[in-house]
Amino acid sequence: MENKTDLQNSYVQNVIARNERRVEIDYFRGFTIILMVFVNFIASGRSTPIWLKHAEDIGLTITDLIAPAFIFAIGLTYRSSFDRRLKEKGINYTYNHFISRFLAIIGIGSFFTAGAAIMAQNESQGCWGVLQAIGAAGLITLIFIKMNKFFRLFIGISLLVFYQIIMDKFFLKIILESAHGGLIASISWASLLIISTFFAELFYYDKIKKFYYLIVCILFLIFGIGISRYFPISKHRVSISYILISLAISGICLFIFFLITKIKFLKLNFLIWWGHNPLFLYLMHMILLGVTFIPQNQRIFLTAPFEVILLEFSFFFLILSISAYLLFRKKIYIKI
């Protein structure tokens, strides 16, 4: 009979042994970061269709799904990355690496959001952005990452329920006034990341067929939609229904990209370019946005027809794609 611990860790051991990149993960990362760059660029335009902007509070648009997908992508390799370093470098180095990494992400995010607040003096949501949410979620997830995947699923759902209760009872006004829900909503973002690590192990666990993984995704989607009657879908609230639906959709997208990798004549190389350096390209696009949307230019951009905004984005996208390609070709992977 196989040792239970060996069965639980087979996903991690296989990833370490193969030492290979998962193409579907690069596809997923690349697709997510391209969408994030796109919606961030067009967001300020008054002519931008409402379905390409964040829902004002309750509701869901494609734009609302991008930040969760970005965090889901981190969860896909979190456990395997942790265990690889643990095996090669030891426990102290591994924990120091992840703590330093996520603190650095929080610091970089604070720099960018502080700059944005200075440039837009009417900014009312403080210095909290998606990178801070990722960093805080990563630190919380680190507490539970060595645990069994089903226990992590239990922890993730428990945190999600706890967050929903305290938000509704005590913190709704504060959360609605904060970007990405502020510090308090880090609990909800962390639950998303923790459950994402469960999805990753379920997807790559050798004894689980991909069909069962897809069923889990559909169940999350059905349950998220079902409870939305009582707990509205809201990105601004980072509500329980929003997280569950976002997890399900991200998980289904990963499955679709996995199927695409099985089509021999279809190679989405441009997604791989972007998928190899997602965080660097995100930071690069933030710098370019800061240069592009200085107050004098932003006033012109606000009133531009949507077709003109798309044309401007094509040049923006071209610059970033060339950068992604050059980094990929030279095998340069910039990580924190």
User: Rounded to whole angstroms, how far apart are CA atoms 53 and 214?
Assistant: 28
Assess whether pLDDT exceeds 50 at residue 5.
Answer: no
pLDDT category of residue 52 using cuts at 50, 70 and 90: confident
Q: What is the pLDDT of residue 258?
A: 94
The answer, as to whether pTM is greater than 0.85, is: yes
Q: What is the pLDDT of residue 126?
A: 54
Mean pLDDT of 317-330: 93
Mean pLDDT of 166-189: 92
Longest CA span, the chain:
70
Average pLDDT of the chain, as a whole number: 86
Do the Cβ atoms of 308 and 60 come closer than 8 Å? no
Question: Of 16 and 152, which is predicted with more confidence?
Answer: 152
User: Rounded to whole angstroms, how far apart are CA atoms 195 and 287?
Assistant: 31
Q: What letter represents residue 181's amino acid?
A: G
Assess whether pLDDT exceeds 70 at residue 17.
Answer: no
Burial letters for 84-120: b for 16+ Cβ neighbours within 10 Å, e otherwise? bbbeeeeeeebeebbeebbeebbebbbebbeebbeee
Q: What is the pLDDT of residue 67?
A: 93
Helix axes 149-166, 130-144, angle to 10 degrees: 130
Assess whether pLDDT exceeds 60 at residue 98.
Answer: yes
Condensed to tens digits (0 to 9), the pLDDT of residues 192-243 reads 999 999 999 999 876 677 888 999 999 999 999 999 999 999 999 999 999 9
Question: Of 185 and 205, which is predicted with more confidence?
Answer: 185
